[in-house]
Amino acid sequence: MKTIAVIGAGTMGNGIAHTFAQSGFTVKLIDISDKAIERGMQTIANNLERMVTKGTITEQDKIDTIGNIITYTDIKDGVVGVDLVVEAATENVDLKLNIFKTLSEVCDHNVILASNTSSISITKIASVVVHPERVIGMHFMNPVPIMKLVEIIRGYNTTNEVTNIIMELSKKLAKTPVEVNDYPGFVANRILMPMINESIETLYNGVAGVEEIDTVMKLGMAHPMGPLQLADFIGLDVCLSILNVMYDGFKNPKYAPCPLLVNMVQAGKLGVKSGEGFYDYAQSKKAEKVSDFFKK
């Protein structure tokens, strides 16, 4: 496996492209617009420069990594000759199904198709693909170049061969792959999102304030980041989307999003990316603290 296509140049997509390229793979980074590609490539360049400054990599490593990435704005052109496609588009079911329908039409049948979805059923995604046995989940953690975990999600039809290939590939990226089965939220978000949601409920019910809730979890439970700050970093819209997927999948009220979360998303208070969530990033150094934590 030498050539990888990554669909989506956003936070997760550019991180995945960066990671593969730094490991010596040829990466075809695909997005719908030149602006999205430019932003993604600038993020990769900035992150690589930071690594050079810290002495993690050399200047030549940076040059080689960027040189391993080719960009495209057309899926059909971008997937020619690839061995693996990793989809990292927005966490939207219809969007992902449309992408995988297209991939099924334009990719050779031996190309493995992976999704970076954090909660959507791999079996459902695979249902629109010819040869669904080649569809698998590769759920990277943010920020991808730093975080070691990759959840490998087997769909109902995913073969042992495909699973083993992706497990070994993840190890070549210096990641730790963990195989899980295909249920809403998988493992990471099935455990994390109810905790975040309960933290929001605790705030909503007036038990304690934002800083107090985060301080209790950091100092009392040894979490490196409080759940409300983490929610801001993930994106409150993403948290809401994942909770809705789990609520729809399990029909269990414990996964129902807190009304405060729903209202904040509707009001456009999405966390770090919008400048305000549970913390006001325009008025504080909290965003810098979040960023610094993930530079360690």
**Residues taking part in catalysis:** 118, 139, 151, 189
Whether the Cβ atoms of residue 41 and residue 14 lie closer than 8 Å to each other: yes
Spatial separation of the C-alpha atoms in residues 234 and 135, rounded to whole Å:
25
Which has the closest alpha carbon to 128: 167, 171, 87, 181? 87
Residue type at 247 in one-letter notation? Y
Structure tokens belonging to residue 93:
């079911």
Angle between helices 188-204 and 236-250 (to 10 degrees): 110
Amino acid at 231: A
